[in-house]
Structure 1
């Protein structure tokens, strides 16, 4: 997946609105559209996209620790927000946009530094104006559950 390094690398609003959210996500995964710069910043990327489901992989590094030396909750939250909201995005029709209204994170155990995880978002509901998804973070090697989340997104028709 190609990552945006400057604002001009990102798709224009007109380009984004010309395709469904699923098409957008699939083109991003294929490297035809630039991925989000936050993925490079926080060490994660999309690895799977299908209708109603998106998977990201990443690993927390020392840069993401809080003063106690454990992975900051914001890292968990960002990965869950990304996978859950992108699961909603796969259901957004051409000519519409979406954004997160609220999300909740439950951390069940600390992720060891440098351990690869998968953050999976799965759609629960996609209507005309809202989308709801759940997410979980699991260790790739151990399969253990490290966090869960839920989100509500607003879907807005632009064109």
Structure 2
């Protein structure tokens, strides 16, 4: 498996012309293969893209103490960031060449407290992909115990470049 690389400054990111010259699936495959850097937030929050296919994305991550709320629990924003990333990447795989997408809305449901240091797997799947919208759902599970810790859903809009 290739070690993930991340953008550390805006110049590290692919240009808009490069992005629009590829389908969303091609772009995501290039990121997974290390030809393009991943977003800085993934490095900051300790999660990474693990697999990508048409309508499907898998992320792995582990929350550290740095991502806890004042009570010492993993902050809901960490769950949200992992879910939003997986959902958005699954949606991106449905975007045709010459277009891009943005999130219209996303929702997070936290089912149980996630222990600090527990590795998770977040699997997102597209439920609908039309000309202008993509709807996806995701589940965030403990990598070892298989328990559901959170679920999420999104609606994204496809925009012609």
TM bucket (normalised to shorter chain) is: over 0.9
| Offset of residue 120 of structure 1 | 1.1
Runs of 4+ with deviation above 3 angstroms: none
From 101, 107, 114, the counterpart of 2:104: 101
How many residues are treated as equivalent by the alignment?
158
* TM-score w.r.t. length of structure 1: 0.98
C-alpha distance after superposition, 1:88-144 (max 9, x if no partner): 100000000001110111000011101100111100011111000001100111111
Q: Which residue of 2 aligns with 1:142?
A: 145
SS at match of 2:94: coil
Unaligned runs of 5+ in 2: none
SS at match of 2:42: helix
Q: Does structure 1 residue 55 correspond to structure 2 residue 44? A: no
From 129, 139, 151, the counterpart of 2:132: 129
Q: Which residue of 1 aligns with 2:113?
A: 110
Q: Does structure 1 residue 23 correspond to structure 2 residue 26? A: yes
Q: Partners in 1 of 2:15 and 2:118 — Cα distance?
A: 35
| Offset of residue 2 of structure 1 | 1.4
Q: Partners in 2 of 1:101 and 1:75 — Cα distance?
A: 20
Q: Which residue of 1 aligns with 2:38?
A: 35
CA RMSD of aligned residues (A): 0.6
Q: Which residue of 2 aligns with 1:86?
A: 89
C-alpha distance after superposition, 1:26-68 (max 9, x if no partner): 0000000111100011000000001000001000001100001
From 151, 155, 159, the counterpart of 2:154: 151
Unaligned runs of 5+ in 1: none
Q: Partners in 2 of 1:15 and 1:34 — Cα distance?
A: 13
